[in-house]
Amino acid sequence: MSAAEEVVAEGHEAVEAVPKRAMTLGTGTSLVVLAALLIVPMFVKNFIIFQMTMLLIYGLAVLALNILTGGSGQFSLGQSAFYAVGAYTSAVLMEHANINYALTIPISAAVCFAFGYLFGKPALRLSGVYLALATFALATAMPQLLKLNFLEHWTGGVQGLVVTKPDAPFGLPMSQDMWLYYFTLIVTVLIYIFSVNLLRSRSGRAFMAIRDNEIAASSMGVNVALYKTLAFGVSAGITGVAGSLGAIAVQFVAPDSYTITLAISLFLGMVVGGVGWLPGSFVGAAFIIFVPNMAESISKGLSGAVFGVLLFLVIYLVPHGARQVAILGQQLVGKLRKN
């Protein structure tokens, strides 16, 4: 067996063990990625900067789903609902209450945390496919709820609400798109650090114990009800931050922007990035942003079919997502160093 084949065989075994811990990038790799994210926007056009901003935003939403599913083992197809609540919270506060955009983000996080925690309470009796169906119903209902007449004054109803994009503060010499990108990057880094520390903490170990074996976790003294609802709340709160940043970046919110399609896209991003691997959240976000555009460039009339084929190839070749590629890469480098 060749060295590459040995790496692939060992990689599959290693991947199975990864969900036991929160896998992250090494310090050196993290610094290189962060340096690239800081430097690249200085040399590209505003449209590319906007796409990079959306990548970070969707990456946050996928990361939130990763904490819920990869961390506590609860499947959700309702992240678009929390994303919508966060987006509308910021939009309404900015346009109707004239609150600074930066202050609306923690408010959106708090509102979505409460929403997710309260939703998690009745969902405690559900698990697996039944929990997925309950969250699916939430995602399906949310766009219709946002169109209700008594909310139309605040939400703009079917027509939606235009959001003012902020200028760079303190007279900084940069465009609105560039400032918003760096602002989003700061928020993303802070939430990423918080998420890593959360999964390494006592609460994170409780999440993973529930994911691995709920009965065993309960017998060891873990308050299953508390931690399952807490996981829902934290996931919803981070998704709300993503929705808030998305509303500011796109400058518009409308009910039809937050349909079940968005929820499925976020779930797809988690699978492609690797369930339980936090850095993979941003790989998955890149997939759901750029691959549909690639598919359309290949064939405009059959873009959906091309996207389906590309997705099938990715799932077939790397069933454990980008996490598997990272493990195989690390092991291959180790083999080459030994040789």
Tens place of pLDDT per residue across the chain (339 aa): 444 344 334 333 433 334 444 456 666 677 888 888 889 888 888 889 999 999 999 999 999 999 998 888 888 888 999 999 999 999 999 988 899 999 999 999 999 999 999 888 877 777 778 888 888 998 999 999 888 888 888 888 888 889 988 888 887 888 888 999 999 999 999 999 999 999 888 888 888 888 888 888 888 888 888 888 899 999 999 999 999 999 999 999 999 999 999 999 999 999 888 888 888 889 999 999 998 888 888 877 788 888 888 888 888 888 877 777 777 766 776 677 776
**Angle at CA of residue 268, ends 56 and 319, nearest 5°:** 115
Contacts of 163 (CB under 8 A, 6+ apart): 90, 91, 94, 95, 247, 248, 250, 251, 252, 253
Report how far residue 37's alpha carbon sits from residue 27's, in angstroms, rounded to the nearest whole number: 15
E-assigned strands of the chain? 161-162, 252-253
pLDDT digits (tens, 9 = 90+) for 176-219: 889 999 999 999 999 999 999 998 888 888 888 888 888 888 88
pLDDT digits (tens, 9 = 90+) for 214-235: 888 888 888 888 888 899 999 9
Can you give the pTM of this predicted structure?
0.88
What's the rounded Cα separation, in Å, for the pair 275 and 156?
37
Tell me if residue 174 falls in helix, strand or coil: coil
Phi-psi region of 156 (alpha: psi -120 to 50; beta: other; left: phi over 0): left
Question: CA 73 to CA 108: how far, in whole Å?
Answer: 25
Q: Residue 25: what pLDDT?
A: 65
Instruction: Determine the number of helices (DSSP H) and then strands (DSSP E) in the chain.
Output: 16, 2
Q: Kindly write down the DSSP assignment for every residue of 286-329, as one continuous string.
A: HHHHHHHHHHHHH-STTHHHHHHHHHHHHHHH-TTTHHHHHHHH
> What are 241's two structure tokens?
């931050």
Q: Tell me how far apart the alpha carbons of residues 261 and 83 are, in angstroms, rounded to a whole number.
A: 12
Tokens of 93: 């506060």
Q: How far apart are the first and last CA of the chain?
A: 15
pLDDT at 156: 85
Angle between helices 322-338 and 260-273 in degrees, nearest 10: 10
Residue 279: DSSP 8-state: T
Residue 23 has a pLDDT of 54
